[in-house]
Amino acid sequence: MSGPIVLTFNPGSSTIKLALFAIGTHGPRPLARGVVDLRHLPLTLRVEEETSAFDVVLKATVSDDLHALIDEILAWIENHFSVNELCAIGHRVVHGGDRFDGPALVSDDVLAAIEALVPLAPLHQPQSIRLIRAVSHLRPGLRQVASFDTAFHRSQSDLVRRFALPRELFDQGIKHYGFHGLSYKFIASRIQELAPNTAAGRVIVAHLGSGASLCGLAAGASRDTSMSFSTLDGIPMATRCGALDPGVIIHLLKQRGLRVEDIEDMLYHRSGLLGISGISADSRDLISSKDPEAREALDLFTFRIARETAAIIVALGGLDGIVFTAGIGEHQPEIRAAICKHLGWLGLVIDAAANARNATRIEAADSKVVVMVVPTDEELVIAQEALSII
């Protein structure tokens, strides 16, 4: 394949998503996407191209440095696509702190700054660092660009970003950061194309996946978001708790004698939909279940999303539209319907048939609020940001 190619890495706590883009006069054009689940052996690269999907069984195992895995993936890509001009690799990095307000070309200094933020994103940040170091070792001349999930939210005011804690802590970095910024950046751009009048107003985007959050947009800029200092805050998620009274943590430490490590594991891995239901972290399993605990988990999930939506409306001063995105938001009509029912007091009414078929516009004709379902594309944003740097 002739012409420049950009590869993107989008790591989760236990998966690595990747995408390959051809660079033309109109920007990045997707060629293929893939994902590797690091929890299952043998490691398998699931590849999706325009007209086909297939699995590539990998010989590598998971090592601390990921060298063997990334070397095998790069070799397979270069062979399968006959790539002769891989011009850059873009990385999703969850936390950019106050240092990064946009993408950055990876250098020793930039990588050191990313490493310094590991305590603020202990599940995701180390994965990005491992990938960057692996590529640097295997392809030392290849340019790498970091795209930060927190950067999109730098447009928020200090009033929104402050906790009611001693002032010096804010200056030391204890503040609202917000996450899923690459997804929100894509959605802000996409709704400008699909519904420009709505995009110019006040919109809340619900990024509902395994990790979940909300973001309030005013004319496409972030004004408030449900996640704050960490990816634990806001609405309940698959296995994460969402907003929690800090007194609960103090109680578990002092009265129950739990270790910090055990509490951390519970809040990140054993709470949310899984913790409430005791059945599954997957909302699809809960929707199909007849157990009352499953229904309670879904009811709490949708109620808390609606309640957080109402809170963000305060920051926006009103609401013109709601956009659902990510795995749950894009594909689960039952969840969307339940959330919108809670928000009926806004004059929000959905069209049941449009909602059932996951249409782009799902509000009823008499709804006072636009309701949309828009697939997100974090990898495209990573590719675009990599090109903007190189």
pLDDT in tens, 241-272: 999 999 999 999 999 999 999 999 999 999 99
Q: Which two tokens stand for residue 173?
A: 């970095």
Helix (H, G, I), strand (E, B) or coil at 123: coil
Domain boundaries, the chain: 5-148, 181-378
Q: Note whether 5-148 and 181-378 share their fold.
A: yes
Is 342 flagged in the annotation as binding?
A: no
Is the pLDDT confidence value at 2 over 70? no
Level-2 CATH architecture, domain 181-378:
2-Layer Sandwich (3.30)
Domain 5-148 has CATH 3.30.420.40: yes
C-alpha distances (whole Å) from 178 to each of 25, 128, 186, 192, 225 are 33, 18, 16, 22, 6
φ and ψ at 33, to 5 degrees? -130, 155
Both ends of the chain: CA-CA distance in Å?
Answer: 21
pLDDT in tens, 283-336: 999 999 999 999 999 999 999 999 999 999 999 999 999 999 999 999 999 999
Is 137 flagged in the annotation as binding?
A: no
pLDDT in tens, 210-239: 999 999 999 999 999 999 999 999 999 999
**DSSP H or E segment with residue 66:** none
Q: Which residue among the candidates 37, 64, 65, 149 is catalytic per the annotation?
A: 149
Is 210 flagged in the annotation as binding?
A: yes
Cα–Cα nearest to 80, from 129, 32, 122, 140? 32
**Is 351 a residue of the active site?**
no
Contacts 24+ apart (CB under 8 A), 58-61: none
Residue 27 binned pLDDT confidence (cut-offs 50, 70, 90): confident
pTM, 2 dp? 0.94
Give the percent of the chain with pLDDT over 70: 99
Is 211 flagged in the annotation as binding?
A: yes
For residue 146, what is the DSSP state? E
Q: Would the CA dihedral through 225, 231, 233, 238 be positive or negative? A: positive
Cα–Cα nearest to 93, from 119, 131, 56, 60? 131
